[in-house]
Structure 1
């Protein structure tokens, strides 16, 4: 169908979709239930270790939930350059548990230890906030072999957490791993699977919520779920800044917490890439920077509001994958629920009554789906290259050591336990280092252009004129990134008496397209020297074009310059910088981009269409024999 006769709806990414209030509330509450157990475990472990009272523990839990809600809204909604604006829910990082216990005990335990922890948390949060744009530059060291490994490791390393919950949560309890607990976990998982198998649409999106509710109701009826704490909880309670006293600052504690936040930054980066894969949104260096700023701001707020360091929660990344609900406003609604629960202790007590085995059954599905996202990313890796095989094999192997043999590193100094004690941390750092060792520092230098596909076979003009509409469209739609409709319209101009006439037919369709259709075409072109080129996930024509201009062989400085230029261009004009790179060099592309930044949006749209026509001319030359050398490659006059 010709673009002239069809309407093009306004494009909105599913991430930015605002769902009806009822669905926002339901989906958001589902995220809260999936998140709750992981949210409260950190204050429980810390309070028990440094000798806090039950009353102080309750305040820590309320403060944690309240700040989790604020942090999640910051990350999902965002403001200025803070918040990645993806469906990512924030929670206290498990990486900080051991260091915080060590800091608290070294300071004497109790509230004295707690205020020393908060001093280190505040400084580490500020450090993360300001270091974010510099850390984000490391995104070029996160190709699919790294991001896929990190995401897979996150999912695999968290599965034992779900298994522990499924067994009862407390390994010293008499009923740990009892058949009753396993039945609740298996039953919850079975309910989720049955709903996925038999239902479509809305019910499949709330399968986890239904499984949790059904499992809890059954456990309550049979007397295995208890809500005694609800009666003794207050209706209202609010955390006040510095409730336990003014923070104290210790150099060693601050250094330890900064190390925690650097490791957490790696995990956050993996979660952002995982979510980007799920929601089909391109992750840029600026996205990583905004996500880490949100982590830093939330962590600083945590130190002020009596909570702890924050990061993205992998549980909820898995839930996004399971439900296929991509709206970031669902996470914002979950944040509102957490704020309310933090202000209403009775509500928290009700949620806390969900039995561990029920949570564990749901967790097996959620954590498993995180690992699957990693497997999907690894599917883009060239495993014919043994270097990539070793990166993944060794990293996954190291990650499973703390999971499968917890005492393996028991004799390693305490200062290194923060790294070797976590499978996620150990596996992630291993993937980054081994990729540097094999593929960056030790990689083979590229001296020749290596095209991803052989040059296409050319056809004659007579063969073109004999093609059916379907055959013509299939062969020549590659001239444009998103333009089968251009080829369909150009076909109506047959028979062509020359290549010039053929080009004229394509240009006529291009330059007479309605403005919304033309804009969508411009937006379909990939960024120059972008992540898609590095990962070799471009189409063969785009990959051939960019390789011909040497954009796959940039120095780090050139890569950063291209990134900054294209991001500034995106921000000003709202679409990618389109340049016919086969007619340019890196130097002339830089010069052209900087000059075009001075144009108006209207001028740039026209310029982009001219560049698209030039690109199509060169691609057409690759496909059709040129019987008349006099034919020009210039754009036909309109």
Structure 2
């Protein structure tokens, strides 16, 4: 009897161990839950990597509209608040309808800046009319993205490996000039101090990545940003104006500047921009799925794009601008190997809190552009590297895939090399093609249709 009981107990223990092993085995990296300390550290790294870039759009558009410094600070708070809500929605999802449940940081779209500055320029001397007209266009644009997302989701069949690899490569290559611009001071004089600070930050990050092991090595970007900012502060290169003028606590009230105004020309211009943004967002969504290992289908693409529409509508109500994926954070996923959507969800909570704590937001937004530029070489370069990795799986011998990649990357670099290339074309042409990512993506899709067709076996 004792022997039988002993055997039963052994079998029970074996069963328990087997179940636990299977549970661990089936946990995808994207659904992994890290210890609290690691989660907070990696979440903060995401916030530091994107925050200054997110702050730039409210500064540009607020200044163009003629708003006061305190009102621009309000725009920044609103922007970070909605970025937090959008990031939480994208990473955790709302039921099965909104949110791709992927580790994607959301923030204000740079693609819409030129259109919004143009709208503001038609109301010079009347800042409130300018900003409420922008918000009216943003509200309709968000609704448009939300409604069109299911149709865009059907385009996934036009993104075989040769197209997705090309698009991800183009995203990285198109962003690298941003890192160069930041390294030079983001429009300021490219003095030696800016360049030395950027290169010093880059070298520091590389050394940290080389010599730090495990999780500390994965936090090299955060340590690099902090170290670069401290070095800049020592040489008087950090501007704390936003921190000094910001309140300790601030609440973002809906329709702070008044109810939205709906002006047809402004709406049309922003709708065109949203087509561009959705194309770029599709590339970013594909990149995040590839890096994180999450399977992508048309339904998940639709849910991810719906998040952008939902966040953009919410942005109009809470006094900010169109929201979409932040590409620089995609590089972090690949660099660190931390692909958990729960880490990114905590980043969303941090962004939401920064929207309610203006002084803290001001501190993070004070990271100098040259420091961001140094980190940008790594972040944006890793995006391009992932695109090249995808292309390594594509069959080139005996196919026209090399032509697809070559021409698409070349066309994508037109607005990078000559920003005014489309100035003498109709305005809608410039709106659609001023982004190299959009130009290259459309080229890759169309050339793949020309050479490989639709529904044919993918040539890998």
Q: Indicate the residue corresponding to 1:127 in structure 2.
A: 144
> Are the aligned partners of 2:29 and 2:293 in contact in 1 as well (CA < 8 Å)?
no
**TM-score normalised by structure 2 residue count:** 0.91
Answer yes or no: is 1:142 the counterpart of 2:155: no
Answer yes or no: is 1:388 the counterpart of 2:405: no
SS at match of 2:289: helix
Compared CA separation, residues 123 and 293, structure 1 to 2 (3 A): same
2:206 to 193, 197, 208: 193
1:105 to 109, 121, 125: 121
Q: Distance in 1 between matches of 2:242 and 2:421?
A: 39
Compared CA separation, residues 99 and 440, structure 1 to 2 (3 A): same
1:79 to 54, 71, 94: 94
Q: Distance in 1 between matches of 2:352 and 2:343?
A: 14
SS at match of 2:183: helix
2:107 to 74, 86, 91: 91
C-alpha RMSD of the superposition: 1.8
Higher helix share: 2
TM superposition shift of 1:398 = 1.0
Q: Indicate the residue corresponding to 2:9 in structure 1.
A: none
TM superposition shift of 1:73 = 0.4
1:285 to 286, 289, 298: 298
Q: Distance in 1 between matches of 2:121 and 2:194?
A: 35
Q: Distance in 2 between matches of 1:74 and 1:143?
A: 27
> Are the aligned partners of 1:95 and 1:418 in contact in 2 as well (CA < 8 Å)?
no
Compared CA separation, residues 22 and 341, structure 1 to 2 (3 A): same
Q: Distance in 2 between matches of 1:256 and 1:231?
A: 36
Q: Distance in 1 between matches of 2:398 and 2:120?
A: 47
Q: Distance in 1 between matches of 2:72 and 2:387?
A: 36
Matches within 5 A, 1:415-564: 415-440=428-453, 535=458
Answer yes or no: is 1:206 the counterpart of 2:219: yes
TM superposition shift of 1:23 = 1.6
Q: Distance in 2 between matches of 1:50 and 1:436?
A: 43
Structure 1 moving runs of 4+ over 3 Å:
106-109, 534-537
TM superposition shift of 1:536 = 6.3
Q: Indicate the residue corresponding to 1:219 in structure 2.
A: 232
SS at match of 1:406: coil
Q: Indicate the residue corresponding to 1:274 in structure 2.
A: 287
SS at match of 1:212: helix
Q: Indicate the residue corresponding to 1:491 in structure 2.
A: none
Q: Indicate the residue corresponding to 2:174 in structure 1.
A: 157
SS at match of 1:308: coil
SS at match of 2:295: coil
Equivalences, count = 440
Q: Which sections of structure 2, spanning at least 5 residues, go unmatched?
A: 1-13
Compared CA separation, residues 103 and 224, structure 1 to 2 (3 A): closer
Deviations 1:189-241 (Å, cap 9, x if unpaired)? 11111121112211111100000111111221232224354233210111111
Q: Indicate the residue corresponding to 1:253 in structure 2.
A: 266
TM superposition shift of 1:341 = 1.1
SS at match of 1:376: helix
Deviations 1:255-281 (Å, cap 9, x if unpaired)? 222222222111111111111111122
Q: Distance in 2 between matches of 1:280 and 1:397?
A: 29
Q: Indicate the residue corresponding to 2:310 in structure 1.
A: 297
Q: Indicate the residue corresponding to 1:30 in structure 2.
A: 45
Larger RCO, structures 1/2 (Cα 8 Å, 6+ apart): 2
Q: Distance in 1 between matches of 2:265 and 2:244?
A: 43
Deviations 1:324-371 (Å, cap 9, x if unpaired)? 111111111111111111111110111122111111100110000001
> Are the aligned partners of 1:30 and 1:208 in contact in 2 as well (CA < 8 Å)?
yes
Q: Distance in 1 between matches of 2:128 and 2:394?
A: 50
SS at match of 1:245: coil
> Are the aligned partners of 1:82 and 1:293 in contact in 2 as well (CA < 8 Å)?
yes
TM superposition shift of 1:133 = 1.5
Deviations 1:50-89 (Å, cap 9, x if unpaired)? 3222122111111101110100000011112211111100
2:131 to 114, 136, 143: 114
SS at match of 1:9: helix
Please, which moves more after superposition, 188-197 or 431-440?
431-440
> Are the aligned partners of 2:30 and 2:293 in contact in 1 as well (CA < 8 Å)?
no
Q: Indicate the residue corresponding to 2:66 in structure 1.
A: 51
2:56 to 41, 58, 70: 41
SS at match of 1:325: coil
Compared CA separation, residues 226 and 119, structure 1 to 2 (3 A): closer
TM superposition shift of 1:386 = 4.7
